[in-house]
Structure 1
Amino acid sequence: MEKFSPEERHQLILNLLESHNKVMATDLAARLGTTEATIRRDLRFLANEGLCKRIHGGVLSLVPPTGTQEQRLENRNSEKQALALAALTIIKAEQVIFLDASSTHMLLASLLPNDIGLTVVTNSPAIATRLLERQYIRTILIGGELNYAVGGAIDITAVEALSKFRFDLCFMGICGWSSAAGFSAIHYQDSQFKRHAVSKAGAIVALCTEDKIEALGSYPFMTSEDVDYLICSPSNTIAKDYFSQLDCTVITSNPT
């Protein structure tokens, strides 16, 4: 006789997924006192219901809910503020930096030092608007058709504009990261734009909130090994432990 009903197993799996972001069939079978075959059926059912993403041997959380850049600012705002502050430690005088369309990067734009000769390139009008207030920061807005969901230009015109630049630092917006697939985006066109942006970078920076860890978008665009700086909260042990083993500088924000 099964220890739990299918409905109970489904809820327990979702509860574990919410707290751990990734669960594996072998671990679930042992924890729930059932067979791996039963757990695999459960995971297929949950994935088909759109509640998680299948990976080999288990499932991952879905990427966090999205909205416009302004709407995303309301989600985990204090954590994003702390990450933006921590990012300032790697920015040096006279650098050319790229800020991808991202709510966290909007906060970073408002914090950038005004007196060290920075040039900021962005595909986000919202970020460029914030930089208008910083008269000693040279701001270059990449043109193209604006994508409402992404909050920036990501079409072929924007991609072609990237060819004119070589960035000292590329701050790349991410929708999710998983140890299995690296960094991913929700929208295909956005993933292709991001691929081109990172190819123009001397160093790549990822500011990663905890809800994006072990979460998988549909379109991977960058491997974990590509990232030079990962900035995360001190409680984000999964990301810290993983990236500390790579050729990557891990910077943690101050608790808020």
Structure 2
Amino acid sequence: MLAAQRRAHLLDLLARQGKIVAKDVAADLGISEDSVRRDLRDLAAEGLCQRVYGGALPVSPAVADYTARQGVTPEGKQRVAAAAVGLVRPGSALILDGGTTAVAVAHALPPDLDCTVITHSPTIAAALISHPLAEVFLLGGRLFKHSAVACGAATVEAAQGVSADLCLLGVTGVHPDAGLTTGDAEEAAMKRALAARSAETYVLASSEKIGTASRFRVLPWDEVTGLITDADAGHPVLEGLTGRGVEVLAAAG
């Protein structure tokens, strides 16, 4: 089998099964695992898969830059945002992560809602200027332009001084094996720091993120309260997560 044929086969497997196990592919095709790993390296370099130990997973489209992500499934993000807003109680404190879905949450908050919003996203802080009863605390630090959020030691230290009832956390990948992932190590650490300061943490994940993975793990499933998504309830990833005891909140279409 030619290299191009092998790679096409790998992409087909990824689409059908949601993962590639290098040793299984090598056995099926009668080739070495090294050959499969080389093919996966090439596919990963082209942005067609996310390499993991022993194989590969579907790559998340949410690793694109901030401007590009604004045009990815905006309706799905709005549905997720509407469901998330239902968790925010009057008088409560909310930690709102950065990213395009979190911005949709900020816009969906009722203008008359009396609450406290803690965020490291200047974009979200600006979106809440028109909410007269929302008290906004902006955590500062080095601006990570990919997601328009502050990151780094100064931001983590600032986060350690706050507490909240609810954290709404964005990720780029949601996978039963890889867990909750994102594309930058510092951003992953920042998300962990935010989640640690909240009584409950729900993950915001529009449908294109379900079943995909990025390079850096944010949190294991047992450290989040639940997942909010507009993906179909029959999605095999969601069925698997529900079977493991993860609360999945459906965002109505």
- Normalised to the residue count of structure 1, the TM-score between the two structures is 0.86
Q: How much does 1:35 deviate?
A: 2.2
Aligned to 1:90: 87
In the alignment, residue 116 of structure 1 is paired with which amino acid?
L
Aligned to 1:162: 159
In the alignment, residue 245 of structure 1 is paired with which amino acid?
G
Aligned to 1:64: 61
Over the aligned positions, Cα root-mean-square deviation in angstroms equals: 2.3
Secondary structure at the aligned position of 1:171 is classed as strand
Q: How much does 1:179 deviate?
A: 1.9
The 2-side partners of 1:70 and 1:95 are apart by 31
Q: How much does 1:241 deviate?
A: 1.0
Listed as ranges, the gaps of 5+ residues in structure 2 are: none
Cα distance change, pair 178–40 in 1 and its aligned pair in 2 (3 A): farther
Q: Deviations over 1:195-232 (max 9, x none)?
A: 21111111111111233223222221200221212111
Q: How much does 1:97 deviate?
A: 0.7
Identity among equivalent pairs (%): 25
Listed as ranges, the gaps of 5+ residues in structure 1 are: none
Aligned to 1:242: 240
Counterpart check, 1:174 vs 2:174: no
Secondary structure at the aligned position of 2:228 is classed as strand
Aligned to 1:233: 230
In the alignment, residue 22 of structure 1 is paired with which amino acid?
K
Aligned to 1:200: 197
- Structure 1 range deviating more: 225-234 or 197-206: 225-234
Cα distance change, pair 19–142 in 1 and its aligned pair in 2 (3 A): farther
Secondary structure at the aligned position of 1:235 is classed as coil
Aligned to 1:38: 31
Counterpart check, 1:13 vs 2:10: yes
Q: Would you identify which runs of 4 or more consecutive aligned residues in structure 1 move more than 6 Å? A: none
- Normalised to the residue count of structure 2, the TM-score between the two structures is 0.87
Cα distance change, pair 147–54 in 1 and its aligned pair in 2 (3 A): closer
The aligned runs of 1:41-56 (5 Å cut-off) are 41=34, 43-49=36-42, 50=44, 51-56=48-53
Secondary structure at the aligned position of 2:91 is classed as coil
